[in-house]
Amino acid sequence: MKRIFLNDVFLLKLISLNALIIFLQGFFPVVSVTGSVLDMTDNFLTSLFIIEAFIKIQSFGIRSYFKDTWNIFDFILVVIALPSLVMMFTPLEMVSLDFLLTLRILRVFKFFRVLKFIPNISALLNGIFRALQSSV
Task: List own/partner pairs for 24-33 with CB under 8 A and 24 or more apart.
Answer: none
Please give the residue that has the higher pLDDT: either 62 or 24.
62
pLDDT band at 48 (very low <50, low <70, confident <90, very high): very high
Q: In the structure, what pLDDT confidence band is assigned to residue 129 with cuts at 50, 70 and 90?
A: confident
**Residues 58-79, mean pLDDT to the nearest whole number:** 89
Gap between the Cα atoms of 101 and 80, Å rounded: 9
CA 27 from centroid of its chain's CA atoms: 20
Domain total of the chain: 1
Radius of gyration of the chain (CA): 17
pLDDT tier at 65 (50, 70, 90 boundaries)?
Answer: very high
Question: Higher pLDDT residue, 40 or 104?
Answer: 40
Q: In the predicted model, is pLDDT for residue 16 greater than 80?
A: yes
For 91-106, how does the pLDDT look when each residue is reduced to its tens digit (9 = 90+)? 655 455 555 555 666 6
Smallest CA-to-CA distance from 42 within 92, 102, 88 is with: 88
d(CA 122, CA 42): 30
**Alpha-carbon span 4 to 82, nearest angstrom:** 22
- Residue 75: other Cβ atoms inside 10 A: 18
CATH of the domain at 56: 1.20.120.350
Domain with 34 in it: 2-135
Mean pLDDT of 4-19: 85
Note the pLDDT of residue 66: 94
Amino acid at 58: Q
Q: How many CB atoms lie under 10 A from the CB of residue 11?
A: 20
**Per-residue pLDDT at 44:** 92
